[in-house]
Copies of this chain bind each other. A is one copy, B any other.
C-alpha cells in the first residue's frame, strides 16, 4: 500500500483513499477489466465511492500511462494493467481476452504505409481453444 501511494505520487496523481482503492483493485484483479467491473468490486470495500470517481480515476491512470485502455470487445472499453506492448487473442467461445507476447508474432510492412506515420500497432486474433 505504501508503494501504491508512492507510485501514484511519482506520476503526479494525488493519492486519495478512493484512488488507492481503485489502484488496489487493478493490482489484484485479473489483468483485463471493464470500468463497471472495477466499480462493482471497489464498491464492496468503499461503499460510497461514486461511478464518476472510478471513471475519473481510470482515465487519469490511462493518461499517466499506468494503465492501458483498449478497444477490443463490444460494449465496454477494456482496461489493461500491462502497458508494455503485446497482442491480443479473443476466445470466440468465451469472450476471454488472452495476451500474446510481443515476440510471438512478427509484423512486417508497417514502415511503408504511404503518407502515414504509424505510432503503434498490435495484432488482434480471434480463435478458440484446441479440442
Contact = CB atoms under 8 A, between A and B. Distances in A.
Interface of A: 71-74, 77, 89, 91-92, 98, 100, 104-110, 112-113, 115-130
Nearest to A100: B113
Interface of A is mostly: strand
Contact of A118 (B71, B119, B120, B127): B127
A3 B98 CA distance: 43
Given A71-B74, A77-B74, A92 B119 contact: yes
25 contacts: A98-B116, A100-B113, A104-B109, A105-B107, A106-B107, A106-B109, A108-B108, A113-B125, A113-B127, A115-B129, A115-B130, A116-B125, A116-B128, A116-B129, A117-B127, A118-B126, A119-B126, A119-B128, A120-B125, A120-B127, A121-B125, A121-B126, A122-B123, A123-B123, A124-B124
Nearest to A114: B130
A115 B98 CA distance: 12
Contacts of A126: 118-121
A45 to B, nearest CB: 28
A107 B107 contact: yes
